[in-house]
Chain A
Amino acid sequence: MNNDKILELKKIATDIRIGAIEAVHSAKSGHPGGALSCADILACLYFSELKIDPENPENPERDRFVLSKGHSCPALYSAMALRGYFDLEELKKFRHLGSVVQGHPDMKAIRGIDMSAGSLGQGFSCACGMALAGKIDKKDYRVYSIIGDGESQEGQIWEAIMFAAHYKLDNLCLIIDNNGLQIDGKVKDVMNTMPYASKLKAFGWNVISIDGHSIEQILDALSTAKTVKGKPTVIVAKTIKGKGVSFMEDQAGWHGKAPNDDEYAQAINELTEYKNSL
Chain B
Amino acid sequence: MAEKIATREAYGNALAELGSKYNNLVVLDADLAAATKTGVFKKKFPERFFDCGIAENNMFGVAAGLATTGKIPFASTFAMFAAGRSFDQIRNSIGYPHLNVKIGATHAGITVGEDGATHQCNEDIALMRTIPGMVIINPSDAVEARCAVEEAIKHNGPVYMRFGRLAVSVINDNPSYKFELGKGILLEDGNDITIVATGIMVEQALLAREMLAAEGISAAVVNIHTIKPLDTQLLIACAQQTGAMVVSEEHSIIGGLGSAVCEALSGVCPIPIVRHGVEDVFGKSAPAKELLEYFNLNAKGIVEKAKIALSMKH
Contacts and interface: CB of A to CB of B under 8 A. Distances in A.
Contact of A125 (B47, B58, B67): B58
Contacts of B68: 64, 107, 114-115, 126, 129-130, 133
13 contacts: A107-B68, A122-B57, A125-B60, A125-B65, A125-B89, A126-B64, A128-B61, A130-B66, A132-B66, A156-B61, A159-B53, A162-B53, A163-B62
Contacts of A156: 55, 57-58, 61, 89
A128 B57 contact: no
B97 A115 contact: yes
Nearest to B86: A156
Contact of B65 (A126, A159, A162): A126
B313 interface: no
Nearest to A126: B65
B179 interface: no
Contacts of A132: 50, 62, 65-66
A98 interface: no
Shortest 10 CB-CB contacts between residues of A and residues of B: A129-B65, A125-B61, A159-B58, A159-B55, A126-B65, A129-B62, A133-B69, A129-B66, A130-B65, A116-B97
A121 B57 contact: yes
B55 A163 contact: yes
Nearest to A130: B65
A167 interface: yes
A97 to B, nearest CB: 18
Given A133-B69, A162-B53, A108 B97 contact: yes
Given A60-B69, A128-B58, A122 B92 contact: yes
A119 B92 contact: yes
Interface string A170-202: 000000000000000000000000000000000
Nearest to B47: A136
A119 B73 CA distance: 21
Contacts of A115: 64-65, 68, 93, 97
A127 interface: yes
Interface in A106-158: 106-108, 114-119, 121-134, 136-137, 155-156
Interface of B is mostly: helix
A267 to B, nearest CB: 31
Given A126-B62, A160-B61, 14 more contacts: A66-B65, A107-B97, A116-B97, A119-B93, A125-B61, A126-B64, A126-B65, A129-B65, A130-B65, A130-B66, A132-B62, A156-B57, A156-B58, A166-B53
A134 B71 CA distance: 11
Contact of A159 (B57, B64, B71): B57
A136 B62 CA distance: 13
Interface string B23-43: 000100000000000000000
A106 B53 CA distance: 29
A122 B61 contact: yes
Given A108-B98, A126-B61, A156-B61, A133 B66 contact: yes
Given A60-B69, A159-B57, A163-B55, A128 B97 contact: no
The winner among B60, B64, B93, B98 for most chain A CB atoms within 10 A is B93
* Listed residue (A134, A159, A160) with the most chain B CB atoms within 10 angstroms of its CB: A159
A131 B98 CA distance: 20
B96 interface: yes
B69 A126 contact: no
A137 B48 CA distance: 11
